[in-house]
Amino acid sequence: MTEEPVPPPGAPDDGTGLPINRKVLLSVVFGTVAFACTFLAPIGGLLLAFPAITTAIHGRREIRGSGGTESGDLLGVAGLTIGITTIGLAMLAAVLSVTTR
């Protein structure tokens, strides 16, 4: 009688992965919309970039505290990066609009 090894929870062969934290998903959505809004209305992009950053930070904390039951840390990094980049672009647009007038 040979025992088959038990795959760890969330192993790829069982067809289901670990659930992705919702906050990091929202972070990417906020960041993407903020980045797009920056080119139309920089203040709108700036206002949406802050929720992207805060939800990314809170989501990554929840993932670390979940004990391996949630995934999505790289999505949190992506949302954080997009949010910070959007703030930089909005600030650059504000500076350029003031100096070119």
pLDDT digits (tens, 9 = 90+) for 13-66: 555 688 999 999 999 999 999 999 998 888 899 999 999 999 999 999 999 999
Cβ-proximal residues to 17 (8 Å cutoff; 6+ apart), any chain: 10, 71
CA separation (Å) from 27 to 91, 97, 101? 20, 28, 34
Q: What is the mean pLDDT of residues 69-74?
A: 93
Model-level pTM?
A: 0.79
User: Is 49 within 8 Å of 90 (Cβ atoms)?
Assistant: yes
**For residues 56 and 88, what is the distance between their CA atoms, to the nearest angstrom?**
17
User: Is 30 within 8 Å of 58 (Cβ atoms)?
Assistant: no
